[in-house]
Amino acid sequence: MGKIRILVADDHTVIRRGIVGLLNAQPDMEVIDEAGTGREAVAKAQAVLPDVVLLDVAMPELNGLGATRMIKGQSPGVQVLILTMHDREDYLFQALRAGASGYVLKGADTEDLLAAVRSVARGGVYLYPPIAKELVSEYLRRVESGEDLASYDGLTDREREILQLIAEGKTAANIAEDLHISPHTVHSHRDNIMSKLDLHDRAALIRYAIRRGLVD
């Protein structure tokens, strides 16, 4: 069996380079590309088709959860391992719903991270051990009770994407350029977002995006 081919996506260069060095030092792993934004991670995952994408949650332009959905939609065979500093249960639920095969904390031991990469590369699922049992139990309880775990209050993927960009401080013109749509379309999406969420100004949208983990 050949080496596990990995794409590492993290917007902090020092952290990303450290992870790349660690993975490349393993005899069974090879980092084939890197990305510094969520949108770049999606494009590179489609271009190089790695076995595993190691993806930070808090990414600019497109957060890691949105990037995961797009990567899995375009290339279902690519496995996504979420790397995050958050051990909150809602992040785990969102990662699983988005299609991630694993979830590991940035504060985890090196061996935990390596085990996670190997597990998801084999088609398995890896959840960081200290929180896995509790979070899976809570997830199953909420599924059985019929609680809505993922609606984002009815926002579409494009609306979530635009909401994140608004929360990152981008103007309608910036967003239009990034997404190759017209400013008028951006304004229409923003109005739909505000209507669905019953929010009435930019500050309220930003607070909502932070609560949902779309931005830090």
- The 10s digit of each residue's pLDDT in 177-199 is 989 999 999 999 999 998 888 88
Report pTM: 0.67
Residue of 177 and 139 predicted with greater confidence = 177
The verdict on 130 and 172 lying in the same domain is: no
Q: State in Å, rounded, how far the first CA of the chain is from the last one.
A: 39
The verdict on 136 and 161 lying in the same domain is: no
The verdict on 59 and 115 lying in the same domain is: yes
Name, in order, each residue with C-beta under 8 angstroms of 39's C-beta and a sequence gap of 6 or more: 61, 62, 67, 178
The verdict on 37 and 9 lying in the same domain is: yes
Question: Does residue 149 have a pLDDT over 50?
Answer: no
The verdict on 38 and 138 lying in the same domain is: yes
What crossing angle do the helices spanning 183-197 and 202-211 adopt, rounded to 10°? 70
Q: What is the pLDDT of residue 139?
A: 59
The verdict on 117 and 48 lying in the same domain is: yes
- Residue 136 half-sphere exposure toward CB, CA atoms < 13 A: 11
- State which residues form the domain around 62: 4-144
Kindly report each contact of residues 131-136 with a partner whose C-beta sits within 8 Å and lies 24 or more positions away, as own/partner. Answer: 131/87, 131/89, 131/92, 131/105, 134/89, 135/89, 135/92, 135/93
- Write the pLDDT tens digit of every residue in 162-172: 988 888 888 88
